[in-house]
Amino acid sequence: MRLDGKGLPVVAVSTLTAAGLSGPGLARRVLEDGIPSPRELAAPAPSRPEDIRQRKLMSRAAWFSALVMRGALAEARWDEGRDEIGAFFGVGASGAEMDEVARLVAASMVEGQFSLARCGREGLDACNPLFAFQIMNNFTLCHGAILEGLAGPNAAFFSRGAGTLTALEEACAAITSGACERALVGGADTALHPVTMAELEREGFLRQGLMPAEGAAALAITSEAEAPLGYVEAVRFFPVDRPRGALVPRTGVLRDAAVPAALDALEDQPCDVVVLAPWGAPAREALVDLPEMLEAELSVDASLSLGESLAATPALAWVLALDLLVHLDKHRALVLSAGPDGDLGAVVLTKGGA
């Protein structure tokens, strides 16, 4: 999707990374090498008394999402008409908190054996009442939307990269079609959930250097603004052939696809900044030469700098790119993401007037 004119204005951003919760300022931390190593985040405590009980009921990813939504809304000063604001997020397999599962399992044991019947009684009693909601992926979007009163068009896309890009594309489509004038778009996820870690291990991503992390990012996008942080100029998908059964394309194939994809997304116009978001070493290897080929002044690897937080990473990369444009007073950035869902994702951003 290529947006008309300058594109759609981005008026606010919010991120949660190992560096903490922040609006603009992520770029400076990254450039100064000031981001702590990826680790389990100390989830910020609720800032509103009424949220304390909710936090106990929500999954980590849902809480991360709620925090960046709140941050972006505050920075955008979108206090009015929230029921008309759209929300589009890339989400992961939220999974139940394993302590909940552990309590359920422990309460379901009879003489060292798991008892299904006991699970239905004592196991049930041992659980968080919103156990089912922790398991459902959509609550990463919905819990935050409920806490912040967002009631416009919406969607949560399961994402291993491309789903978060789809969220951005649908948010842009919702605004350009008039379904809403303002939308929050982003992603929130944790790669440190034990089930997800097991998945990453099995598929070899950990051996290939993927650094699992947690994170979230939200961007506030609107139909028009006087002095935005920047603009979304284009959102593009480029499917890449991959061997049957493989989770990611071969490095050479991905490399061959990346150059024309980047040029196509940029419409053969130059860019100053390239931000890459590759999953693991093979994808990184495929993309690493791209900034030089595009003669970009600066390139940053978001997955290396911030760790891999799965559904959140593309959104973190967009925020990082916008922040680099503002921080370094550059004009145009390309963000290229490559996850195991088989697509190269390209987002072109330009600096605004703020």
Partner 1 sequence: MKRQVFVRGRGAITPLGETWPASRDALAEGRSAVEPVKHFDVEGYPSQVAATVPFALDARGLRSDKPSYAPKPPLDEAEDRRLALARRAADEAWAEARVSAAPSRIGVFVGAESGRATYGTIFALSRAAGGGARFDHARFGEDARRLATSVHAAAVSPAAVASALAARIGAEGPVETISLACASGAAAIVSATQAIRLGLCDVALAGGVGADVDPFMLVGFGLLGALSARGVSCPFDVRRDGFVVGEGAAFVVLAADAGDAPRAEIRGAARTLDAHHLTAPDPTGDGAERAMRGAIEDAGHVKIGYVQAHGTSTQLNDAVEAAAIRRVLGDALPDAHVGAVKGAVGHWIAGAGAIGFLCALEAVEEGLCLPTAGLDAPDPACALPHVAGAALRKPVEAALVNAFAFGGANASLVVSRCA
Region 314-343 residues binding partner 1, contact defined as CB under 8 A: 341-343
Alpha-carbon span 242 to 247, nearest angstrom: 8
38 binds partner 1 (CB under 8 A): no
143 binds partner 1 (CB under 8 A): yes
Q: Rounded to the nearest 5°, which phi and psi values hold at 134?
A: -65, -30
183 binds partner 1 (CB under 8 A): no
Alpha-carbon span 10 to 226, nearest angstrom: 11
* Site mask for partner 1 (CB under 8 A), range 45-74, x = bound: ---------x--xx----------------
Q: By C-beta, is 54 or 251 nearer to partner 1?
A: 54
Q: Which of 36, 132, 293, 295 binds partner 1 (CB under 8 A)?
A: 132
123 binds partner 1 (CB under 8 A): yes
Helix (H) or strand (E) segment spanning residue 97:
none
| Residue 140 · residue 91 · CB < 8 Å | yes
| Residue 153 · residue 95 · CB < 8 Å | no
164 binds partner 1 (CB under 8 A): no
Contact positions with partner 1 (CB under 8 A) in 214-253: 237, 239, 244, 247
Alpha-carbon span 155 to 166, nearest angstrom: 10
Q: By C-beta, is 42 or 227 nearer to partner 1?
A: 42
Q: Which of these ranges, 3-11, 31-39, 160-168, 319-327, lies near partner 1 under the rule CB under 8 A?
A: 160-168
Contact positions with partner 1 (CB under 8 A) in 262-321: none
CA separation (Å) from 156 to 33, 143, 182, 214? Answer: 32, 12, 17, 18
Q: Which of 35, 74, 119, 281 binds partner 1 (CB under 8 A)?
A: 119
**CB neighbour class for 68 (10 Å; exposed up to 12, middle 13-18, buried from 19):** buried
SS3 state at 207: coil
Q: Which of these ranges, 19-27, 144-152, 221-229, 293-301, lies near partner 1 under the rule CB under 8 A?
A: 144-152
